[in-house]
Amino acid sequence: MKVLKTLYGLVIGLSILLGFFFGPDHAVFAWHKIPSWDAIFGVLGALGLLAAVKGVGAIIFRGEDFYG
């Protein structure tokens, strides 16, 4: 599991690093001028979704003997 997390971290870091060298040709919106914005936004969005699911799961899922 630790190897998989390390591999994911390396891939994320590499994609953010490559965004500084191979950016979009022209920026449609102002935030597209920020290097690696799409990669950073994707990582933060995924982490936000994981945190939200974990929070909702703590509220919705109860123990086996919750009703009795």
For residue 13, pLDDT beyond 70: yes
| pLDDT tens-digit series, residues 32-56 | 888 889 888 999 999 999 999 999 9
Sign of CA dihedral 56, 59, 62, 67: negative
Sign of CA dihedral 34, 31, 23, 11: positive
> What residue spans define the domains of the chain?
2-60
Mean pLDDT of 55-66: 79
Burial 29-67 (b: 16+ CB within 10 A, else e): eeeeeebbbbbeeeeeeeeeeeeeeeeeeeeeeeeeeee
Q: Say which residues have a Cβ less than 8 Å from residue 15's Cβ, sequence separation at least 6.
A: 36, 39
Q: What is the mean pLDDT of the chain?
A: 87
